[in-house]
Homo-oligomer: A and B are copies of this chain.
Amino acid sequence: MPQFDNVSVVKQANIYFDGKCVSHTVVFADGSKKSVGVIFPSQLVFNTGAPEIMEINGGVCRVKLAGESDWKTYKAGERFSVPGNSKFDIETMETLDYVCHFG
């Protein structure tokens, strides 16, 4: 199963939106961070600080980026990018298993 090697993992979970999103932070040797997590079926709005790439490894969602009018569907094996200091609407139809790449 794919994994990240030679990393640090923060013990404490990140719990957002009353548990609809749960992730753990992974820190790489160069100081960069990613998070590995899940989003349960829901309709949520995420705000970004750093730019993000959301890598979908399981599940199905629809996403609408700030300033766009169309929703796009993403499923396992796909990814989408979000600018920094922005936000996106995400409707999760089947529980998402994701990796979020920051920066």
A interface list, Cβ under 8 A from B:
1-13, 15, 19, 22, 24, 26-27, 36-38, 40, 57-58, 95, 97, 99
Contact = CB atoms under 8 A, between A and B. Distances in A.
- The complex is assembled from copies of this chain, and their number is 2
Contacts of A57: 11-12
Chain A's interface: helix, strand, loop or mixed, by majority? strand
A36 B11 CA distance: 6
A6 B9 contact: no
21 contacts: A1-B10, A3-B8, A3-B10, A3-B11, A4-B8, A6-B8, A7-B8, A7-B9, A9-B9, A9-B24, A9-B36, A11-B57, A12-B57, A13-B37, A13-B97, A15-B38, A15-B97, A19-B38, A22-B22, A22-B38, A24-B36
